[in-house]
Amino acid sequence: MTVTQLSSWLRIYAELINEHTEELTQLDSAIGDADHGTNMQRGTAAVLAAIDANPADDAAALFKTAGMALVSKVGGASGPLYGTFFIRAAASAGAVTELSSHDFAKLLHAGLEGVVARGKPEPGDKTMFDALAPAVEAVDDALDDGASLSDALAAAVTAANAGRDATIPMLARKGRASYLGERSVGHQDPGATSAALLITAAARAFG
């Protein structure tokens, strides 16, 4: 995949966030502080502005620009988490103009590890990790079975959406939702929801 395709991943993600801003904020108002949609919208708009102002020659430059824009514009916990995802993805991809399917899977892993290093989530904490981790695993499994990247990402979307839905009955143990204790049960996690959109955007960009 080319740098143009990689940047279309970011563009589609921004579109999806735009479409779901209200929904993300609504989900966040149930268990957080009602700003996830507006924060992510501000962040992804900043990503587009940054990559338009400084078109990247290679994958590392593209993702670094995106990551820094997210860290610098989003704030809250989502800024450092999504920002670190892309900054680590940049380091993994390197200054190349073409990525193989395997490279892309590696990049997703590096991003996920960044999220883990920054937020220290564990499975079942009711966070973005619960959507992201199964998606990354699904890509690995599908590619190992010889699937195309397009098919692997389709499987990843299914896994991410299932992971997102699985956060509904969970008891939050991270972030502001954790203060709710038992009252966090029964609400879909907004972070897992925006993470599932990130995977959906990848599937559309490389499908």
Partner 1 sequence: MKKLINEPAGVVTEALAGMGAAHPELRIDLENRIVYRADAPVKGKVGLISGGGSGHEPMHSGFVGLGMLDAACAGEVFTSPVPDQMLEATKSVDSGAGVLHIVKNYTGDIMNFEMAAELAAAETGTEVIQVVTNDDVAVKDSLYTAGRRGVGVTVLVEKLAGAAAEQGRPLKEVADVAQLVNDNGRSMGIALTPCTVPAAGKPTFTLAEDEMEVGVGIHGEPGRATVKLAPAREIAEMLMEPILSDLPFKTGDNVIAFINGMGGTPLLELYLMFGEVARILKGHGIEIARSLTGSYMTSLEMAGCSVTLLKANDDIMTLWDAPVNTPALRWGV
The answer to whether 76 contacts partner 1 (rule: CB under 8 A) is: yes
Q: Which of 55, 94, 181, 186 binds partner 1 (CB under 8 A)?
A: 181
HEC per residue, 97-165: CECCHHHHHHHHHHHHHHHHHHHCCCCCCCCCHHHHHHHHHHHHHHHHCCCCHHHHHHHHHHHHHHHHH
Q: How far apart are CB 117 and partner 1 at their closest, in Å? A: 11
Under the binding rule (CB under 8 A), the answer on residue 106 touching partner 1 is no
Q: Which of 64, 88, 164, 174 binds partner 1 (CB under 8 A)?
A: 174
Q: Which of 11, 34, 91, 151 binds partner 1 (CB under 8 A)?
A: 34
Amino acid at 101: S
Q: Is 44 in the site for partner 1 (CB under 8 A)?
A: no
- Cα distance between residue 85 and residue 107, in whole Å: 9
What's the N-to-C CA distance of the chain in angstroms?
A: 11
Contact residues: partner 1, CB under 8 A: 25, 29, 32-35, 38-39, 42, 71-81, 118-119, 171, 173-176, 178-181, 183
